[in-house]
Structure 1
Amino acid sequence: MAAVAPDIDDLRLCVHCGICLPQCPTYRVLGEEMDSPRGRLYLMRAVAEGRLGFTDAFARHMDLCLGCRACETACPAGVPFGSLLEATRSQLVERGPRPRTALLRRLVHGMFPEPRRLGLMLGGLKLYQRSGLRRVVRASHVLALAPRLAAMESLLPDVPSAPALPELTPAQGRRRLGRAGVLTGCIQRHLYPDVNRDTARLLSLAGYDVVVPRDQGCCGALELHAGFLDDFRDRARKLIAAFPVDLDVIVVNAAGCGSAMKEYTRWMPGEADVVAFAEKIKDVSEALVDAELPLGPVDLTVTYHDACHLAHGQRIRAEPRRLLGRIPDLKIVPLPESDLCCGSAGVYNLLEPEVAGRLLTMKIDRIAETGAAAVVTGNPGCLLQIAKGCRERGLDLEVLHPVTLLARSVRRALQ
């Protein structure tokens, strides 16, 4: 299928007011107009109107965008920047690979969205970590010769064991709320399996029969954000086919995945099964915020980081905070600029480690200011990125998914 051109009417919505500029992470880091939403929209419109070609400089400004969509939240004119960027990137993809990042992009997008390939890679990584080879490699400083490889190596935590969840977990609560599917995800499945396990258990306690399709794959979010629209649609349709049609809700505990899945209808309009599927998607905080659960005390001071694709992509801010606020003895302290991107942005931190690193420094500075003992956020990429930043800063903080804290509270109540 051909690339999708950005909608010219949407491009013309921008009134050049500049309200988006202080909200844009790359503008704050780089200080360049063309690396701001306003500047990028100007470039997109110039290309759409034939005043500018698809130059290397144009592509670079598009590559440097994190796709965090903070500009959408700020924009008084309602410019749908995220979809305009994704359409523009699809045009760049159609024009062929660009040498500087083509190999790494195909490696990353061919690895992370493939659960089996990712599992094999992480199996090798587990051996690398536990054999002592990691200590040798880090001590040799050989990774300094390859910044992107160094970024990938430093990001990954110790790889846990990840047993598969049962395909059906019956409801245990007093209420019967229906049937809930659970997306296990790519990174979540292998690096944060406890988050998936706790999600299924909490939904079951809340009153759902929990269905975890064994053959589910990737949601396609990475391909969508990179402009590989054919790959994205293919993954989306396979994922839809993997879930039973009689589910009442499909629960997602990864902000980036949930945002992409809720937008399936934008990229596959008029397909009845796509519409029915997308309408069932809920972030786990939406699904559990009012659930009847036994909650015990958790004596901990935490701060909450808004994942971009939760706060800006899905406009979900209150639900995670309400969920955490229900836990007895849990103290929540505000995080300054809680919705400032941490620099993860899918695989941006691997492709653009310098900009991502500067954003991570800003984020860790603000986390350290709070004095909290733990950071909570609802996206695996953010969990990895912030945990890396805390390790490098020498901060002894827990970095947790909201579901992890909620499950801890439930266990205390049931002791």
Structure 2
Amino acid sequence: MDPELIKDCVHCGFCLPTCPTYVLWGEEMDSPRGRIHLMGQHVEGTPVTGEMAGHFDACLGCMACVTACPSGVQYDRLIERTRAVVEKEHVRTPDDRAIRGLVFALFPYRRRLRAMRLPMALSKRLQPFLERVNPSLGAMAELAPPPARPVRLPPVVRARSRRRATVGLLTGCVQGEFFPQVNAATARVLALEGCDVVIPRRQGCCGALSLHAGREAEARKFAKRTIATFERAGVDTVVVNAAGCGSSMKEYAEVLRDDPGWPERAGALRVRDLAEFLIELGPVAERHPLPMSVAYHDACHLAHAQGVRSQPRELLRAIPGLELREIAESAICCGSAGTYNLFQPEPARDLGDRKAERVLATGADLLVSANPGCTMQIAASLRRTGKGEIRVAHTAEVLDASLRGRGGL
């Protein structure tokens, strides 16, 4: 934990109304400034106790406090380094170790995740039993989306008009296995906007889940492999359609700060979220009307970590006939936060239910999200409320429907 970064916090409290756990519980130690106080205690010699680790584990890492902070406190780096310390120094319970071992042996590996898609979907019938065995297993069953039809993308998708750029596409782990149609839509949209899209076959995990959980060595391994994969593909710009992955890839130079030569290689890789890239590129393809109302959900690692807020809204507003509606408390996390809804299922459900109520209050026909974790979390929360269903789609899918003149979403 960096004592200089800790000193940046003046404990003003501007972060409190934006912190999801403080909003839920009103406990000082479950706010950003409270956790920074605990970090300071550790730097001064206090060991990581179980109670201290619990407060750090309760943090979603949503970075809303970074957006709210007037002093420029780098809480994102503080919490990531703190979690690495917790993983090294804190002895977890056997149940906690088992669940974490299961999640990190499964989710970053696409073949394993693929093999588990159908069992996870079928486990919904066993959710009450799994919930009694372990709440994290119950959450895993509840969150699992229906099995998706496999989509096999070619190594290169050629521009459908004059070529304006050549980009790589990160297909991701959860995105690639649970929402392959989003990757297909992303490739089509980029091609229609004049891009050659290079899709390396043997992509692995980008390391986002590991990084956010304090598993530093694992995150560095995944980061190096991802950089090398796109270097071999011959692209220097990578388009990402999952907010958590994009925010982590933009931090590769920091993640690999102690590995000689790698920060420079990371810096040569230009990472852009899909919406961010399309706005920078500018539109050329015709937008066909989509007569519907859409509520846009700000994924935390897109809005807070990457500062990408206006670009998705600009893309949606440019579609004829589409009405964009804002969601109340848009800055408050939905409770997904990578693996948070698996390791902290109770507060995650509380936040998910809160978000679902505000989504339904918009009366929109469609909810748009730019992160697979958010999509699963909010969809599960909407089902749990029993107050109504609303389809959830990715920004890429909405754009794809408009560019191809297909109204069905």
Q: Are 1:373 and 2:361 counterparts?
A: no
Q: Who is 2:299 aligned against?
A: 307
Correspondent of 2:34 among 23, 39, 60: 39
The alignment's TM-score, normalised by the length of structure 2, stands at 0.94
TM superposition shift of 1:144: 3.8
Q: Residue 175 of structure 2 contacts residue 182 of structure 2 at CA under 8 Å; is this kept in 1?
A: yes
Q: Who is 2:270 aligned against?
A: 280
Q: Residue 151 of structure 2 contacts residue 184 of structure 2 at CA under 8 Å; is this kept in 1?
A: no
1:229 alignment partner AA: E
Correspondent of 1:341 among 333, 337, 344: 333
User: 1:13-61: CA deviations, max 9, x gaps?
Assistant: 00010010111001111211000000000000111122x2111111111
Q: Residue 240 of structure 1 contacts residue 274 of structure 1 at CA under 8 Å; is this kept in 2?
A: no
Instruction: Return 286-295 or 102-111, whichever deviates more.
Output: 286-295
Q: Are 1:253 and 2:241 counterparts?
A: yes
Whole-angstrom distance in 2 between the partners of 1:179 and 1:356: 39
2:362 alignment partner AA: T
Correspondent of 1:229 among 213, 216, 230: 216
CA 1:261–1:392: 2 relative to 1, 3 Å = same
> What secondary structure is seen at the aligned counterpart in 1 of 2:168?
strand
> What secondary structure is seen at the aligned counterpart in 2 of 1:243?
helix
User: 1:149-177: CA deviations, max 9, x gaps?
Assistant: 11110111111122321011111123x22
Map of 1:1-400 to 2, 5 A cutoff?
Answer: 6-50=1-45, 52-95=46-89, 97-99=91-93, 100-125=95-120, 128=122, 134-135=124-125, 137=126, 141-145=128-132, 146-174=134-162, 176-244=163-231, 246-269=234-257, 272=261, 274-278=263-267, 279-289=269-279, 290-394=282-386, 395-400=388-393
User: 1:281-332: CA deviations, max 9, x gaps?
Assistant: 0000012222312210101101111000000110110100001111110000
Instruction: Return 300-309 or 269-278, whichever deviates more.
Output: 269-278
The alignment's TM-score, normalised by the length of structure 1, stands at 0.92
Whole-angstrom distance in 2 between the partners of 1:283 and 1:94: 32
Q: Residue 107 of structure 2 contacts residue 173 of structure 2 at CA under 8 Å; is this kept in 1?
A: yes
Runs of at least 5 residues in structure 1 that lack an aligned partner in the other structure = 1-5
Q: How many residues align?
A: 400
CA 1:97–1:110: 2 relative to 1, 3 Å = farther
User: 1:213-265: CA deviations, max 9, x gaps?
Assistant: 00110000111111110000001101111113531410000000000000001
Whole-angstrom distance in 2 between the partners of 1:203 and 1:184: 14
Q: CA RMSD for the aligned pairs? A: 1.8
Runs of at least 5 residues in structure 2 that lack an aligned partner in the other structure = none
Percent identity, aligned pairs only, is 44
CA 1:214–1:274: 2 relative to 1, 3 Å = farther
1:402 alignment partner AA: T
> What secondary structure is seen at the aligned counterpart in 2 of 1:362?
helix
Whole-angstrom distance in 1 between the partners of 2:407 and 2:327: 31
> What secondary structure is seen at the aligned counterpart in 1 of 2:404?
helix
> What secondary structure is seen at the aligned counterpart in 2 of 1:179?
strand
User: 1:155-214: CA deviations, max 9, x gaps?
Assistant: 11111122321011111123x222110000000001110100011111111111111000
